[in-house]
Structures are given as C-alpha cells and as structure tokens.
Amino acid sequence: MGDATNNKKILQNIKMPEQSNDYRVVVFGAGGVGKSSLVLRFIKGTFRESYIPTIEDTYRQVISCNKNICTLQITDTTGSHQFPAMQRLSITKGHAFILVYSVCSKQSLEELKPIWSLIRELKGDEISQIPVMLVGNKCDEPEELREVTNIEGQTEAATWGISFMETSAKENHNVTELFQELLNMEKNRNVSLQLDGKNKKKKEKKMLKEKAKEEKLLKEKKEKAKQQAKEKEKQTAKEAKEAKKKEEPKDKAANGTNAKGGKDKDKDGAAGAAAGAEGEASGTLKEKCKVM
C-alpha cells in the first residue's frame, strides 16, 4: 500500500513539459492582411504570392520556456469567415495575441477594434499581463499604396496600450523579431525562441535523457514494490505454517483419546481372534468325532 502511494507521488512529480507547457499565440486580423503569410514565413520560411483564405490553422514550434522545452502553438485565424464562438474560444485559450492590419488598408485597422474589445472583455484584469502586438503588415508596398503611416500605427497602439511593429512577410522584414518581441513581453514565464538548431537538439536530447532516467527510476520502484509484495506473501505463508505447527500438539493430544479407542478395538479384535481360535478348536473336535 505504502509503495503504491509512493509510486503515485513519483508519477505526480514527473513533469511532462511538452504536454503541460504549451504557449498559445493567436493571430487575428481582417481577410487578406497577411496573417497566414506572417505565420508561414516564421514557421517554414516561405512566402506565396497567391491568396488562399484560411478557415483556421494551428502551427507548432519547439521553444524554450523556463530553461525547459515547450511548444509554441500559433493559431492562424480566419479573416473573412469569423465564427464568434471560435473567436471567443481562441481568446480564452490564448496566452498572447498578434493583431494584424495591412498598411495599405485603413479599413483593416478599423476592423481590429472589435476584436481588441473582445480580448479586453474576456481577459478582464489579466489583460495588463498579456503580450499583445499591433502589426502593420505589407510595409514593403510602395508609399503611394499606403493608407496607414507608421506614426498612425504607433499612435493607435499607444492608445490601446499595446506594442507596435511594422512587418513584411514578403520581404521577411521583422517577422522573427515580431514573435521574439511578443515572447519577451511575457512576464509570467521566461519564454524564448530556440532557433539555434544545435541548442535545440542538445535540449531535446537532455529532455529525452531525463525522461529515460525518470522512467528507469519508476521501473526500479515498481520492481522493488513487486519484490516486497512477494516477500510479504512468503512471510505470511511462513507465519501461517508456524501457527499450524503450534496447533498440531493439541491435535495430537486430542488424537490420544482416539488411540485409546483404537486399543479397545484391538482388544475386541484380540477377543474375536481368541473366540475364532476357540471355534477352530471345536471345529476340529467335531470333525474328529465324525471320523470316529
């Protein structure tokens, strides 16, 4: 029983960072502002000119969190087919938010306002601790196509009380910086991008090693518990045997009375035998008489 409780405690103490430490970033913005392009540029390093509207996609990347490995989960939401229930769920589950507009569309900046209000409403007092970045994408576009200047974007972000950045998914400008900045704003845990392949591999190796060690320890504990249970079983059997042995002399005493009865039986047997012998003797006499 005691060992079973210990094993349970050990299991509870084992941390599974890749399961429990997801860091969720949600990307919001109107249709066509370049949300997917930013995410794909960051995750895969690619860019496509063609426009394929998104319904909702989630991407994962290994990052470091409190000197451990964890998963950065990026939700790329839809711009044109927004479902209020899905939006609310994404906000509730999100740890950080990227609000994207296109510098070529003032309308797209306006469309972010209701989303920002909803985030504030759902996060309540927590909001001051949540990393949020206002992003003006497509800053590579020529000046004549611009509808929102850099200063206007900055001013808007300052009014909302959040950070600001201009990006270009097309030219890979400020994309990694956007995600790194966002993670830097997280104050509750030390999250950081692990883009150095060597360090990532080293950390993953270390984590796997630690996991194997914990599993070995658990196996040993289980083995020990099994052994102890076996020994206990043996001990109980031994004690039962000894207890039986102790009871045996009493049984023998009780069997003594029966032995007496047995002797009586023998006596009867002897008497019978004597009678038989008598009969035999008389039989011989009779036969002798007949012959005579």
* Interface region with ligand GTP, contact rule CB under 6 A, candidates 3-11, 28-36, 91-99, 229-237: 28-36
Whole-number minimum distance, CB 146 to ligand GTP, in Å? 12
Quick one: what does residue 95 bind among Mg ion, ligand GTP, none, with the CB cut-off 5 to 8 Å set by partner type?
none
**Taking CB under 6 A as the rule, does residue 79 contact ligand GTP?**
yes
**Taking CB under 6 A as the rule, does residue 17 contact ligand GTP?**
no
Binding residues (CB under 5 A) for Mg ion: these are 35-36, 54
Q: Which is nearer to ligand GTP, 75 or 137 (CB)?
A: 137
**Taking CB under 6 A as the rule, does residue 45 contact ligand GTP?**
no
Binder among 10, 21, 22, 32 for ligand GTP (CB under 6 A): 32
Q: In angstroms, what CA-CA distances link 54 with 33, 77, 90, 123?
A: 12, 7, 15, 25
Binder among 29, 94, 136, 153 for ligand GTP (CB under 6 A): 29
Beta bridge partners of 191: 65
Provide the residue type at 22 as one letter. D
Q: Which is nearer to ligand GTP, 96 or 103 (CB)?
A: 103
Tell me which residues in 111-170 interact with ligand GTP (CB under 6 A): 137-138, 140-141, 168-170
Quick one: what does residue 29 bind among ligand GTP, Mg ion, none, with the CB cut-off 5 to 8 Å set by partner type?
ligand GTP
**Taking CB under 6 A as the rule, does residue 18 contact ligand GTP?**
no
Rounded CA-CA distance 59/24 in Å is 10
Rounded CA-CA distance 292/276 in Å is 24
Quick one: what does residue 41 bind among Mg ion, ligand GTP, none, with the CB cut-off 5 to 8 Å set by partner type?
none
* Interface region with ligand GTP, contact rule CB under 6 A, candidates 1-9, 42-50, 115-123, 263-271: 42-50
Distance of CA 54 to the CA centre of its chain: 30
**Taking CB under 6 A as the rule, does residue 53 contact ligand GTP?**
yes
Whole-number minimum distance, CB 151 to Mg ion, in Å? 27
**Taking CB under 6 A as the rule, does residue 87 contact ligand GTP?**
no
Binding string to ligand GTP for residues 170 to 209, with x set by CB under 6 A, is what?
x---------------------------------------
* Interface region with ligand GTP, contact rule CB under 6 A, candidates 16-24, 29-37, 179-187, 273-281: 29-37
DSSP letter string over the chain?
-HHHHHHHHHHHH---HHHH-EEEEEEEE-TTSSHHHHHHHHHT----SS----SEEEEEEEEEETTEEEEEEEEEE-SSS--HHHHHHHHHH-SEEEEEEETT-HHHHHTHHHHHHHHHHHHGGGGGGS-EEEEEE-TTS-GGG-SS-HHHHHHHHHHHT-EEEE-BTTTTBSHHHHHHHHHHT--SS-EEE---HHHHHHHHHHHHHHHHHHHHHHHHHHHHHHHHHHHHHHHHHHHHHHHHHHHHHHHHHHHHHHHHHHHHHHHHHHHHHHHHHHHHHHHHHHHHHHH-
Beta bridge partners of 165: 135
**Taking CB under 6 A as the rule, does residue 83 contact ligand GTP?**
no
Residues interacting with ligand GTP, by CB under 6 A? 29, 31-37, 48-51, 53-54, 78-80, 137-138, 140-141, 168-170
